[in-house]
Amino acid sequence: MAGMILFSMSRRTRAGTTTLLNKAGSRGGQPDEARTEHLEFPDNRLLIDLCGGFDSHLSRIEATLGIHVMRRGNSLVLHGPREEVGIAAETLGRLYERLEEGRPVGENEVEAALRLATGPGAMRFHEVDFDRTAAGGGAGAGNGPVELRTRRKVIEPRTPAQKDYITKLLTHELVFGLGPAGTGKTYLAVAAAVALFNEGRVDRIILSRPAVEAGERLGFLPGDMKEKVDPYMQPLYDALHDFIPARQLGRLMEEKRIEIAPLAFMRGRTLADAFVVLDEAQNATAMQMKMFLTRLGRGARMAITGDPSQIDLPRGVASGLVAAERILKGVEGVAFSRFSGEDVVRHPLVARIIDAWERDAAARRSAAARHAEAVPAAAQDASTGSSETGEAGDG
């Protein structure tokens, strides 16, 4: 079966795009049935950018989806399993739309498009509800992609989990982002804070972290309190510099419209009309977490991020993040977004490291469970044997 799709250079309406992608991603027929699709692109210059240097973008799509992509003049021919060809057509169509809009398409964008189309919980483009909130276009700014607009860059989700997380950050007053390092939890939370601040939907940004981690203590560091604390806060400074020009950031911090402070400094405050981010929340105690959550004032939003598998608190001290996840599940206005190793957007090796660590942890838990089951059984057998020996002696 062969099909022909012509991608118009003029910017299409969302309805037209949806119809086009429905045609490309039709799921009728047998899943393994071979399919050939012809895609024509009227602007050859945009097609060059779409394919990438030495057709590297096409090679990435081929390797991920297990299909063949051939370039012929101003057209691409896709051949392979029906479902995968449909996904490839959708992905190429969406990437070409980005180019039509004057937005770049590089390796990161191709990788993000493939993750969104093939990752766990992925939705095909024609299944997406485009009537949603997107910071930068105002509340309810439908017809646009899920994105966060700041002065320096536009941030788009690169995995289905990131898309879910951004949507919740823009629609809920309290959001927990849980998962391993490298998944963008803190980065996206700070981006959402900056985007809403630029729109005037919050008046302040407050970023916080527990100041003591991994067994280290502030008293052993040189300098005054600010000099002791700043190294722990550096990841938050780095994120802000990505979104706000340095001179403007300096002025906003002088005016206290943007604050970066240790968690301990939050006690006694009421944080109204602010976007508040608590990072590394797994290292907050249960009492600190309760204290922080009750700082929420009118017109404020909170994002709390952390990795429950990397708790650095002393042995026997319960993590406030774990407690909050248990206690606040199902509470109205509170949302949880969970990330896994598949959502890591740093170096691909990071994802493999996290997966290996998770497999080892699972194996250890399984071994511990088997040991826990074996000990009572062994004790019972020993008790039964002792009883039988005693009865024989009495005889």
What is the per-residue burial (b if ≥16 Cβ within 10 Å, else e) of 266-298?
beeeebeebbbbbbbbbbbbbebbebbbebbee
- The CA–CA distances, whole Å, from 386 to 42, 98, 373, 374, 391 equal 87, 77, 21, 18, 9
Average pLDDT, the chain: 78
- The model's confidence at residue 158, banded by pLDDT at 50, 70 and 90, is confident
Cβ-proximal residues to 220 (8 Å cutoff; 6+ apart), any chain = none
Q: How high is the pLDDT of residue 73?
A: 86
Q: What percent of the chain has pLDDT over 70?
A: 74
pLDDT range class, residue 19, cuts 50, 70, 90: very low
Q: Is residue 190 pLDDT above 90, yes or no? A: yes
Instruction: Find the range with the poorest average confidence among 160-164, 228-232, 335-339.
Output: 228-232
Per residue in 362-372, pLDDT tens? 888 888 888 88
pLDDT digits (tens, 9 = 90+) for 192-220: 999 999 999 999 999 998 875 544 555 56
Relative to beta strand 204-209, strand 34-40 is unpaired
| pLDDT at position 218 | 55
Handedness of CA 256, 259, 262, 266 (dihedral sign): positive
Looking at 41-50, 121-130, 138-147, 184-193, which range is the least confident one? 121-130
Sort strands 258-262 and 75-81 into parallel, antiparallel or unpaired.
unpaired
pLDDT tens profile 243-263: 999 899 999 999 999 998 888
Using one digit for the tens of pLDDT, what is the confidence trace for 111-142?
Answer: 878 877 776 554 443 333 333 334 444 433 34
Instruction: Please report, for residues 17, 124, 137, 192, 274, the alpha-carbon distance to residue 143 in angstroms, rounded to integers and kept in the order given.
Output: 11, 16, 10, 19, 28
Please say if the pLDDT value at position 390 is more than 80.
no
Share of the chain above pLDDT 90, in %: 32
In this prediction, residue 127 carries a pLDDT of 36
pLDDT at 119: 61
Given a contact cutoff of 8 angstroms between Cβ atoms, the answer to whether 78 and 67 are in contact is yes
Q: pTM value?
A: 0.65
